[in-house]
Amino acid sequence: MNWLIVAAVAALIVLTILVKAFSGNGSKVVKHPYQKHSALFSPDDRIFYRALKEAVGEEYEIFGKIRVADIVLPKKGASRNDARLAFSPIAGRHFDFVLCDKNNLTVTCAIQLRDKTNPAKQAEGQKNPLQTVCEAVALPFVRFDIKADYYIPELREKLQVALRKEPFFLVETDGRKEPRISNIEDMKF
């Protein structure tokens, strides 16, 4: 009978050790407070992505949620203080989508979605800090309102207008200027 009591106590001790080991209460494993997003894009973003993909076709690569700092850099020679001041309004900001050239993946256009239902968002007439940055680096910037459905020709047209490269014309007011020799005798040879 003694051996039964010893076996029961030993089994209880082993069971207690196993329960603690598998429950994690006594372990030193650090648990991180992370969880994975179910999808990269929100439902509104996914609707726009599909419409954008159809609008640009095979001409561009589309990337989403790209940090501004991955595209825009401080000018060479700028002091650290100037760079910090320039980047403080855009720190942590991202473009909802960017269009890149299919051949070399250079960024050709930045796109931001605008939520008209949220009054806390930026007012219609206000200039977006991302738009200011894009203008400074000559990167086309387009804003689209979030909708349940998008008219593809309208998307395509708005992007084409933004991506249109205007020809550069050098305008001279007086035409071509030629040097004039007023008196040939004053010239030295």
pLDDT tens for each residue of 122-142: 555 567 888 888 988 999 999
Is residue 67 situated within a structural domain? yes
49 phi and psi, to 5 degrees? -60, -45
Query: Tokens 């008209």, residue?
Result: 116
Is residue 54 situated within a structural domain? yes
What would the mean pLDDT of 46-69 be, rounded to a whole number? Answer: 93
Is residue 178 situated within a structural domain? no
Give the model's pLDDT for residue 16.
Answer: 81
Q: Which residues neighbour 64 within 8 Å (Cβ) at sequence distance 6 or greater?
A: 40, 41, 45, 49, 96, 97, 98
For 116-122, which contacts have Cβ atoms below 8 Å and span 24 or more sequence positions?
116/145, 116/146, 117/146
pLDDT tens digits, 58-87: 989 999 999 998 998 888 888 888 888 888
Is residue 135 situated within a structural domain? yes
Is residue 114 situated within a structural domain? yes
Question: Does the pLDDT of residue 155 top 70, yes or no?
Answer: yes
Give the range of the structural domain holding residue 91, as residue numbers without chain letter: 43-163
Query: Which of 75-84 are b and which e, b meaning 16 or more Cβ less than 10 Å from the residue's Cβ?
Result: eeeeeeeeee
Give the model's pLDDT for residue 26.
Answer: 47
pLDDT tens digits, 103-114: 999 999 999 999
Is residue 151 situated within a structural domain? yes
Is residue 74 situated within a structural domain? yes
Is pTM, for the whole model, over 0.75?
A: no
Question: Does the pLDDT of residue 189 top 70, yes or no?
Answer: no
Give the model's pLDDT for residue 141.
Answer: 94
Domain count, the chain: 1
Is residue 157 situated within a structural domain? yes
% of the chain beyond a pLDDT of 90: 35
